[in-house]
Amino acid sequence: MQISLEEETQGIITADPGLDPELFQRQFCEMIGLPESVPVAKAVEQLIGDWYPAIPENQEPINFILAQVASHNPRSMLESQLLVQMLICHRLCMRMMKKASNETWPENIDKYTNTAMKLSRGFKSGMESLAKYRRDGKQYLYIERINVEKDGQAVIGNVSREGVQ
């Protein structure tokens, strides 16, 4: 599903003119993890913000960002916003690394590399925040392998420390 931008109406329409607008609204909101009451134009404006204004010239990058967000199956607007932030952070990080690789002055190389590293840490932090949000803040411990030697004892099943003094 792609969106098209109309210059004269400053609105968003579907790429398929035969698609029912209400169906598009429902599919778009489901894809991005929004309630159906949120207008598509407002959702795109909220997600993309000033990074890519909703004008016809930006239709391709907006569709790319929305496709990237949709590929991660967001369950809410908050997840969608975090995913967009991470995408933008990654893009800026790569831009700074390219500038650093083309630079000849050591001071500028350091400046661009430091900025790229800060953006990289921001991306990593976003990944951790998204994972924590999707787990509802719960932590899980997965045990891959257990060896029990001769005369050893093992407990199999759910083990809880509740009630232990």
Residues 62-105: tens digit of each pLDDT: 888 888 888 888 888 888 889 999 999 999 999 999 999 999 99
DSSP one-letter string for 42-74: HHHHHHHTTSS-SSGGGHHHHHHHHHHHHHT--
Domains held by the chain: number: 2
In contact, 88 and 96? CB cutoff 8 Å = no
Measured CA to CA, the distance from residue 99 to residue 125 in angstroms comes to 23
| Residues composing the chain | 165
**Is the residue at 162 inside a domain?**
no
**pTM, entire model:** 0.69
pLDDT: which is higher, 156 or 87: 87
Q: Are residues 6 and 61 in the same domain?
A: yes
**Is the backbone of residue 104 left (phi > 0), alpha (psi -120 to 50) or beta?**
alpha
**Is the residue at 157 inside a domain?**
no
Domain that holds residue 90: 77-145
